[in-house]
Amino acid sequence: MNAVDEIKEVIKKNKKRVAKELQESKELVFLVKKSITTKLTDEEKGKVKEQLLDICKAIPAFTVFMLPGGALLLPLLIKLIPDILPSAFRADDEPLEEEK
């Protein structure tokens, strides 16, 4: 596998992860709207908490990436602080569902 193929594979994998994170964020919006009119179950409250933490984790990772040299610094930070990434990006070994 050459460098171009590796880059294409990384882009493809992360595209799926971004899509997964967006789907989870849509669920968060739905649950927040639902909480206005009804009481959330403990499971729904847990999902809201997890998604809010994911959003809070994405902001520092994006900020580091945008710094000069951030593309080089972010992988180092991920090695030192693995929890800096949102949940959709953490599990490299976890297979993502194929798009249909």
Pairwise CA distance, residues 58 & 99, whole Å: 23
**pLDDT, tens digit (0-9, with 9 covering 90-100), for 61-88:** 777 777 787 777 777 777 777 676 666 6
Instruction: With a cut of 60, say whether residue 100 has pLDDT above it.
Output: no
Q: What pLDDT, on a 0 to 100 scale, did the predictor assign at position 45?
A: 92
3-state secondary structure string, 5-17? HHHHHHHHHHHHH
Question: Hey, is 32 helix, strand or coil?
Answer: helix
Pairwise CA distance, residues 1 & 71, whole Å: 22
Q: What pLDDT, on a 0 to 100 scale, did the predictor assign at position 85?
A: 67
**pLDDT, tens digit (0-9, with 9 covering 90-100), for 22-53:** 788 888 889 989 999 999 999 999 989 988 88
Phi, psi of 94 (to 5 degrees): -75, 120
Our count of domains for the chain comes to 1
Q: Is residue 93 part of a domain?
A: no
Higher-pLDDT residue of 17 and 87 is 17
- Its pTM surpasses 0.75: no
User: Which residues have a Cβ under 8 Å from the Cβ of 64 and sit 6 or more positions away?
Assistant: 70, 73, 74, 77
Q: Is residue 53 part of a domain?
A: yes
Q: Is residue 19 part of a domain?
A: yes
Domain that holds residue 33: 3-88
